[in-house]
Structures are given as structure tokens and as C-alpha cells.
Chain A
Amino acid sequence: MANETNTTQDAVSSQVATDTIRKYLTFLSDGLYFGIDTSYVTEIIINHKITFLPMVPYYVQGIINLRGQIIPIVDMRLRMGKTACESEDGTNCIIVLNIDTIMIGILVDAVRQVLDIDTSKISPPTANNHEELVCGMMTLADGTTMLVLDQAALSQS
């Protein structure tokens, strides 16, 4: 399938890896800049046909057939209680995650890059954190703030 890119093409970094350095995949959803540990990421697929599934919460967009595997798709925007991203041309971008053997695809606006993140520098979310999907925050070198996606909360249905 030509419409797949592989996450292993990491942003090149020759830095000596210490125990706290992890690779994070960053993506955009509704203007927010998220990051997730790449060890949970299986692959990124674009423009895949999503089959509608009745009787599930509104944020579950449906299921996809990924080479014989059935994977549920969660729209990140809807999951956060925001409005769905309307793409006119029917394009989509899905990050397939494997969270403790639970396979989920998340529908995001765009995938950015893979960064080396020193996990010891991730600060906890603010006390009045209303965003259940965020388990940490971190300011990056270019001044933008990355929200660390709480994959455990995401996989709880």
C-alpha cells in the first residue's frame, strides 16, 4: 500500500541516549501540539477508508481494515469534546497505536515529527487540568509547548 509512511524514519539525532531520553512522535489536533512515546506507535496511515460502526460513542469514527486487522478509529478532536475536523476532500491522517496490545487508531489533523525528549524534564499537568488525555507538558527548544498524550486514558473505553 503506497499510502503509508513508516515512523522509523526518525528525525536524525546522534545524541547519546540516556535512560530518560525517549523518542516522541508529535502531531496536531485542533491547534494543540501533542506528543506520544514512539514505542506505542505502530504506523501512520493516510487516506484510509473508515467503515462506520453503529452503536458506539460519537468519538469512535468506525473501524478500518489494516491488512486483515480490524482497528477502531477514535477522532482526537471529538474525544476531547471539540468539533470534528471537516476535510472536504475526504483525506484523513491516522496514527495507529498499540497500547498494551489494544490497537487503536487516532484521527489527527497532521503529524509533525519525531523528537528526542528528556522525560525527566516533562512537568506534570497543571492542577486544574480538565483535559483528561494529557499527562504532562513540556516546552520545546523552539518555545512551543508539547502536551504529552496519556495513552492509558485513551485506551480506556
Chain B
Amino acid sequence: MDNGMDNMLDMYLFETNTLLEQLDGILLNAEKEKLFTVDDVNEIFRIMHTIKGSSAMMEFSSLMKIAHKIEDLFFLIRENGVDTFDTVCSEAEHHELFDLVFNSIDFMRSEIERVENAEPLTDNIDSYLEKINAFIDKITVHFNPDAAPAASQETTTTEAAAPSQDLPDNSAFFLHVFFDEGCGMENLRAFMLVNALQDACEDFTYYPKEVESNPDTAHEIIDKGFYIGFQNKEAAETAINILKNQSNIQTYEMIENPKAKAPQTKVEEPVVPEHTEVAAKPVQKAESAPVHTSKKSDSSTHSMQSKQSLISVNLSKLDSLMAIVGEIVITESMVTSCPELVGVKLDSFTKSARQLRKLTDELQDIVMSIRMVPISGVFQKMNRIVRDMGQKLDKDVELVIIGEETEVDKTIVDGISDPIMHIVRNSMDHGIEENVEDRLKYGKSPKAKITLTAEHTGGEVIISIADDGQGIDPQAVLNKAMRNGLLVKPESEYTQKEILNLVMLPGFSTNEEVTEYSGRGVGMDVVRKNVEKVGGVVSITSEVGQGTCTTLKIPLTMAIVDGMEIAVGDSIFTIPINNIRQSFKATSADIIRNVDNSEVIKRMDEFYPVIRLHELYNLETNVTNIEDGIVIWVESGDKSYCLFVDELLGEQQVVVKPLPTYLNGFNIKNSGIAGCTILGDGNISIILDILNLYTNASNLN
């Protein structure tokens, strides 16, 4: 493996997280169906096996041990027949099994998090192991009522014998080979491998022994892999070269045998004599034997079995790819709109330029699509939350997911995962009624429903989280806001929409007491902040007794926007096209003075405030008469107003560049400046944030 340790760690984290998520999904499904299918059990078994293997390789022993225990558990279920298990075990035990596995998954997640944060792993996992052991004992009784005492006996003996399955003999090096799954006749394939090796290497041993004569060894090879022992490293390396030319080999791994170096440390274990045929077959209660040494480097069967045509790429590489493509788009327009070319007739140049434009457009589209990932990952996580909270709070809730295949930019998916989780928790905790009677009273079904929806609309993704709970009581919100001093005008003047928006103010939380899941002082304001960070807006609708719906409107991507270039004096600004409703010429007769001398204008029977950009930003310009310039009617979130600027320069696709870090200290983001971009001629244009610009302007007044 020529990758650095970091790369391996990244790979490990990615793989393990994916597997745990997969596991979550399987379990949730199985729990819903109230039974395991053979496939489920096999899949869980395989996942645990992989996690165990790769954790051992990375020397994360706590993860390995837990994974191993769960593997044991499911091995037991598999061996005794999944159907038997489903019939034999009571509902309570089923329940216990799910809780046990879910808890273990959570534990593993927290351990993974520790790995990510470079913190030490938990040492004390005995309580977990004991719990699982206890459960294993319990269900063993079910499977084998007569042999109950023997069964527990077996657990202990296998435990003692555990290290013996580690490596089969005292050779210094082992090659641990796995064949492609489902290739069949593993024992014969192993034998062919041995034959091939015999030509090149002289002295080696292999396990299981009777591969040629005993077809049963095939199963053993599938489960445990095929071991080939060598006396020295050179021989092992020669063998690897041969291995590479063999077909049907999925993975192989070289293992250095610690026993060969220090055999005396493990006196109690039955050391297998090298050439006695009978004893040489490693005593394998195989999978059911718990391993207590982290030295066992199991093959990290790189999970994806069906050969997917997928690769995982580091996000930072995609980011830089995106940045370069952005530069290319700019440079392309810089070249083709070069001022020196104006008026020059160059047929072949124009032709090539057009072709270049087409290609850069395609390139940009592809790069953008690479970064798109389905939102299903985020949605699936909510299943777990709904399940856990439903049990804890004793609420019967069904989660309905619609449009999980909707694709969104990766950074945005990461950014909205926490907000969605928070909203779902809120719904579970505060939204859904405590008592079923309250639901019946409103004529709703006793089973509550939370609906997660995602859909595309043009340049935006709309995600809504709707529950059919008790809704938000506007009066309670008002009272609370008043107590917290959040009201800025008389109570009676608040509209329904404004009241609901109060919920998203910092320092607001309608629930009095703090629960395990929500109400820790992090409220909807954090949700709003996080969503705004990725350029989105949050809105809430609610009806008492009918439920609450939170909608997140999020742009597909933030890297490239369609913008309208406008000029004020010498400065050039970009307004995202999405925000523009209309641009028009106005006369001074259209302008109406408000009491506080601010200007308003009437459009489509409604009045909108007018913000003069040159006044707001203190820009020098000759255009101060409303007739000379142009008015742009813009809208963002729930704010709609008109901007007065000198002139429109034209529409252009721009690559958003963040402002320099040095300027972050000046709180410039809140003054309506979202970033900047470089135009085709090398000039800088400032990208306006229509929402913040309005807030900033109204604060100044």
C-alpha cells in the first residue's frame, strides 16, 4: 500500500461510516417488518466482519471488539437459521436485539468521531461486551434448550481457545488470501494456488490442509480465508508476485506472525505442529470465537462487492477542480471579449472561440454534476432519530420520505444536515402531541406523521419538514417573545407570518423545560444561521392543531451564479439573477415620501421601499435623479424592495470568490456584500447579498 497513513485513515473513516449508515438502514427496515431476512443477517454479518477487519488493521481495538461481538451474535443467528430465530424469540427479545445493535452502532459512531478528532479511544468497553454476551447466552438457550448449560460452556471454552485461530502455525510470515465471493470451488482454487506456488517456492505450509480431497474446506476458506505460511519474508514476497497472476483472488494480505518471534508468550494455546495432518487443521469454532488480540489482521475485504463503477474522491480535490474550472470560464470570456478584438473580423477565431465556449460550458456542467450527491443520506439519518425519540418519548410516529434522490451540492448537503436534524427533533419533541387523545380530538389518526420532502425548482432545492402535530400557538410565541424583550412593535400589529418568524430569533425557545433532545438553548436561530450560511432561507408555516411545516429553500450550488452586472459611479456590482424580479425606469412622480422621509414606490399594487445604493454605500456618482438611473425590484426570502442604481451592464455568469480573510473582521458579510468576482476584463465586481443588504439598510435608518 503506497498510500500514507492519513490516506488509509481517511479511507477507513469513509468506509466505516458508510457501512454503519448501511447497517442503520437495514436494521430500521428489519425493525419495521419485525423480522430478519436471510439477506439482512448476511449483510449485517458482512458489515461487521469488514469493520472488525479494518479496525483491527488500524488498531482501533474497541471498535474491533464490539464489531466482533456483534458478528458473533449474527453468526449465531445465521447458523441456527434466521427463520428459527424469528419464530423462536419473543417480541421483547427482538426489541432487545435491536436496541443492543443500535446502541452498539452509536457507540461505534462515537468512537469513530473520536478517531476523527484525534482523541484517544474508550478503553472500558466491558459493559458493552457483557451486554452482548448476555444476550448471546440468552438466545442460545432458545436455539438449543436442552444444551443450555453446554452452550454457555462453549462460549467460555472458545473464548479461551480464541487466540489459536489467530494464525495457524509458527511460520514467520503468512499470506492471508480471500477468493472472489461466489466464485465456487474455493478449495480447488486454493489447491491450484498451492500448485502454482510449489514451482517457485520450496518451503511453505498452508491451511486448511486437505483442500484437494475435502470439499468442506471450501466453506472454511470462504469464511476464514486461506493461509499460506512462509519461513521468511523473501519467500512471501515471491509468492505475492505469483498471487498477482492468479485469477479469482479478491484480496490478500501479508501478516507477520508474532508467535514466530515470541512463542513463549502464549503458552496456554495449543501450538499446532507443523506437519501433522490431522491436528494441522486449525481448530475453528471460527467465527463464533471471540478474538482478544488486535494482532489478527483480518483481510479488509473492501466492502463494495458488486463491482461498482464508483470511486471516492477527496472533496478538496473537487474544490480545487471547481476553482480551476471557474478560472477557465473567466479566462475564456476574457480572451473572447478582448477589447483589442473589437471590430476585427476573424472568421476562424470566432469559430474556435464559439467551440471553446461550448466546451467550457460542458466542462462546467460536468464538474458541477460531480459535486452533486443525493440528499438521501441526510434523510435516512432522520429515520434513526424518529425511531429513537419515538421510543423514548413514547410517541408513535411514522417518517415519510419523498424525493430523497434529489441531488444537491456536497457542501450544501453537509451544511443542512444539522438543521434538518434539529427541525425533526423539534417536531418530535414539541410538535407531535404528548397524548394520543389530543390527536383524536382533532380527528387525526393516532399515528403521527413527519414528512420529509425534497424537490428541485429551477436553481433551487426546496426541502420541507412537515409534521401533523399540534402546531405552533401564536399567542404562546408572542407571550414568550414579549418576556424575552424580542418584540419591536405593539403585539396586535404582528401578522401570523411575523409571529412565526419570531421563533427564529436568537434567544427564543417556546418549550419551558430542557429535554434530552431539544431545548438546549440552541434554537431555530442556529438553524436559520446554518441554512443562510449555504445561501438558503428558512420559512415556517403552522396551523394550530394541524401541524407545522418548515421549508428550506437552498440554491443548488454557490460556486457559480448567474448575475446581473450593475454600475454605480465607478463601482461594479453583481446581483444574483434569482433575486431580481423586474427592472424599470421610474419618474420622480412614482416616488412617494414616507413619514420618516424614506422613499417608497408602488409596484403591482403594493408599496416597496427604495434603497439608493450610492447613498447606502457612499459612492460618488452623477446619477442621483431617479429618472437618470434605473430601479431594480429585488426579492430575497421575505424581503422585497427596490434598488436604485446608475445602469445595468448586462447579464453574466460569475464565479463567486470569498472576500479576503483580512476583511472578515469587519463584519462585511452582514452589510450586504456576499463576495466578489473577477470580470472578463480583470475588474472586480462586488456580489450583493440582497437579504443582508436590506437588513443593513434598515438598521442604518
Chain B residues with CB under 8 A of A64: 684
Contact check: which of B327, B570, B657 meets A70 at CB < 8 Å? B657
A106 to chain B, nearest CB (A): 11
Stretch at the interface among B32-40, B83-91, B658-666: B658-666
Q: Does B356 contact A (CB under 8 A)?
A: no
Residue interface bits B661-701, CB-to-A below 8 A is 1, else 0: 11111101001110010100011101000000000100000
A157: interface (CB < 8 Å): yes
Binary flags per residue of A35-64, CB closer than 8 Å to B gives 1, else 0: 000000000000001011111110010011
A65's partner among B571, B683, B696 (CB-CB below 8 A) is B683
- Chain A residues within an 8 Å CB radius of B662: 72, 102-104, 155, 157
A51 in contact with B663 given A56-B668, A65-B678 (CB within 8 Å): no
CB neighbours of B366 from chain A (8 A): none
Do A157 and B666 touch across chains, with their CB atoms under 8 A apart?
yes
Say how far B126's CB is from chain A's closest CB, in angstroms: 46
Neighbour of A54 across the interface among B660, B664, B673, B683, CB < 8 A = B673
Residues of chain B within 8 A (CB-CB) of A65 are 678, 682-684
Selected contact of B671 from candidates A49, A55, A155, CB within 8 Å? A55
Rounded to whole angstroms, the CA-CA distance of A71 and B684 in the bound complex is 11
B618 contacts the other chain (CB 8 A):
yes
Of all chain B residues, the one with the shortest Cβ separation from A64 is B684
Among the listed B330, B571, B617, B661, which residue makes an inter-chain contact with A51, where contact means beta carbons less than 8 Å apart?
Answer: B571
Residue B619 CB within 8 A of the other chain: yes
Interface string of A51-93 (1 = CB under 8 A from B): 1111111001001110010111000000000000000000000
Are the CB atoms of A156 and B665 closer together than 8 Å? yes
Bound-state Cα–Cα, A72 to B658, Å: 12
Give the chain B neighbours of A55 by CB distance below 8 A.
617, 666, 668, 671-673, 696
Looking at the complex, which one of A51, A53, A63, A157 makes contact with B664 (CB distance below 8 Å)? A157
A65 to B327, CA, bound (A): 13
Q: State the CA gap A60–B673 with chains docked (Å).
A: 15
A16–chain B nearest beta-carbon distance, Å: 37
Chain B residues positioned under 8 Å from A54 (CB to CB): 571, 616-619, 671, 673, 686
How many angstroms between the C-alpha atoms of A52 and B683 in the bound complex?
11
Q: Which residue of B lies closest to A154 (CB)?
A: B662
Measured in the bound complex, the distance between the Cα atoms of B676 and A71 in whole Å is 11
Shortest CB distance A93–B (Å) = 19
A56 closest partner in B (C-beta): B666
CB-defined contacts of A56 to chain B, threshold 8 Å: 663, 666, 668
Say how far A144's CB is from chain B's closest CB, in angstroms: 30
A70 touches B660 (CB 8 A): yes
Residue on A with the closest CB to B664? A157
Shortest beta-carbon distance from A125 to chain B in Å? 24
Q: Is the CB of A63 within 8 A of B684?
A: yes
Query: Cα distance A32–B305 when bound, in Å?
Result: 71
- Give the docked Cα–Cα distance between A65 and B616 (Å): 24
Contact B666 A71 (CB under 8 A): no
Cβ–Cβ < 8 Å partners of A53 in chain B? 663, 668, 673, 686
Chain A residues near B618: list those with CB within 8 A.
54
Q: In the complex the two chains form, what is the Cα distance from A156 to B665 in whole Å?
A: 8
Chain A min CB distance to B191 (Å): 60
CB distance from A70 to the nearest CB of B (A): 6
Contacts of A70 in B (CB 8 A): 657, 659-660, 676, 678, 684
Q: What is the distance, in angstroms, from B677's C-beta to the closest C-beta of chain A?
A: 9
Q: Which residue of B lies closest to A50 (CB)?
A: B684
Q: CA of A81 to CA of B517 in the docked complex: distance in angstroms?
A: 52
Q: Which residues of B contact A57 (CB under 8 A)?
A: 666
Beta-carbon nearest neighbor of B568 in chain A: A54
User: How long is the Cα–Cα vector from A51 to B571 in the complex, in angstroms?
Assistant: 7
Residues of B within 8 A of A156 (CB): 665
Q: Assuming A53-B686, A55-B617, A156-B665, is B673 touching A71 (CB within 8 A)?
A: no
1/0 contact trace for B639-665 toward A, CB 8 Å?
Answer: 000000000000000000101111111
- CB of B619 within 8 A of CB of A103, answer no
Q: Which residues of A contact B657 (CB under 8 A)?
A: 70
Contact A102 B661 (CB under 8 A): yes
8 Å CB contact of B678 from A68, A104, A157: A68
B696: which A residues are within 8 A, CB to CB?
Answer: 55
Chain B residues near A101 (CB-CB < 8 A): 661
Residues of A within 8 A of B330 (CB): 68
Interchain CA distance A23-B571 in the complex, whole Å: 39
Contact A51 B684 (CB under 8 A): yes
A60-B666 contact in complex given A52-B570, A68-B327, C-beta closer than 8 Å: yes
Distance between Cα atoms of A53 and B573 in the complex (Å): 10
How far apart are A97's CB and chain B's nearest CB, in angstroms?
10
Q: How far is the CA of A49 from the CA of B676 in the complex (A)?
A: 16
- In Å, the complex CA distance between A71 and B668 comes to 15
Query: Closest residue to B326 on the A side, CB-wise?
Result: A68
Question: Assuming A51-B683, A55-B671, A65-B682, is B617 touching A72 (CB within 8 A)?
Answer: no
Name the residue of chain B whose CB is nearest to the CB of A100. B661
Residue of A nearest to B676 (CB): A70
Alpha-carbon distance between A40 and B33 when the two chains are bound, in angstroms: 65
Asked if residues A52 and B619 are in contact (CB atoms below 8 Å), the reply is yes
> Can you list, as one digit per residue, whether each of B322-364 has a CB less than 8 Å from chain A (1) or not (0)?
0000010010000000000000000000000000000000000
Which A residues lie at the B interface, using CB under 8 A? Answer: 49, 51-57, 60, 63-65, 68, 70-72, 101-104, 155-157
A-B residue pairs in contact (CB < 8 Å), sample of 27? A51-B686, A52-B571, A53-B668, A53-B686, A54-B618, A55-B666, A55-B671, A55-B673, A55-B696, A56-B663, A56-B666, A56-B668, A60-B663, A63-B659, A65-B678, A65-B682, A65-B684, A68-B327, A68-B678, A70-B659, A70-B676, A70-B684, A72-B662, A102-B662, A103-B661, A157-B665, A157-B666
Contacts A63-B660, A104-B660 aside, 17 further interface pairs with beta carbons under 8 A come to: A51-B571, A51-B683, A52-B570, A52-B619, A54-B571, A54-B616, A54-B618, A55-B617, A55-B673, A55-B696, A56-B666, A63-B663, A63-B676, A68-B330, A101-B661, A156-B665, A157-B663
Closest A-B pairs by Cβ, 10 of them? A157-B665, A54-B617, A55-B671, A51-B684, A72-B660, A72-B662, A56-B666, A65-B684, A102-B662, A65-B678
